[in-house]
Amino acid sequence: MLNVENNQDIKAPDDKYLMFKLVAVMGLLGACRCEELCQMSLNNIEDLGNALVVNIPDSKTRVSRTFTVITETYIDLYRKYLALRPAHVNHQRLFIKYTSNKCTIQLVGINIFGKMPTDIARFLKLPNSKLYTGHCFRRTSASLLADSGANLCTIKKTWRMENFECCRRILERFVTKQEEDCLSHSSK
């Protein structure tokens, strides 16, 4: 799970990390796999002004799903990234190469998405940053849902997780963490 020790307020500059931020937003809110991020298209995103509606076409589970982005900061990241898109891009894929506050027409490949959590963890100075893989977006999303009080069936249904055992382990970790937190607070 991607979190920062001691609630540090770390700001990543947009000129270098704008695409990373948008990938993290889409990956976490949509519980996206790397291939889903790679194939994400402008045609799958509807900007309603105060919300983005994102459709993830059927992929591994053969079931499409939809999620919304309602946080203004996240919507602004999307619009800022989109504004940098060159006019002569001849495809509809959302993620294109981004460096020095500019986008090119080159597509971002699946391996780049798989490496992004490692780069994010390294930026945040998290220990064992190489252990963070592309699957972190999906797992962290499920963990955040568990943190909000969701049960096993809700997680499985919401994220279309075909692996029931994976969902159970996420909830077990959350319950164990809650118990540890209670014990540490009661001993103070």
Which residue segment(s) compose the domain that 67 sits in? Answer: 12-186
Is residue 7 situated within a structural domain? no
88-107 b/e with 16+ CB inside 10 Å = b? eeeeeebbbebeeeebeeee
In contact, 69 and 25? CB cutoff 8 Å: yes
Q: What's the domain count of the chain? A: 1
pLDDT, tens digit, for every residue of 57-89?
A: 877 767 788 888 999 999 999 999 999 999 999
- At residue 114, the pLDDT reads 93
Q: How far apart are CA 21 and CA 173, in angstroms?
A: 26
Residue 2: what pLDDT?
41
CATH of the domain at 56: 1.10.443.10
HSE of 31, CA atoms in CB hemisphere, 13 A: 22
Question: Is the Cβ–Cβ distance between 81 and 104 less than 8 Å?
Answer: no
- Give 122-154 pLDDT, tens digit per residue: 999 999 999 988 877 877 776 666 666 655 555
Domain membership flag for residue 2:
no
49 falls within a domain: yes
CA distances from 165 to 24, 80, 149 (A): 25, 39, 18
Q: Is residue 1 part of a domain?
A: no
Residue 162 falls within a domain, yes or no? yes
> Would 3 be classed as within a structural domain?
no
In-domain check, residue 5 = no
Residue 34 belongs to some domain of the structure: yes
State mean pLDDT over 84-101.
92
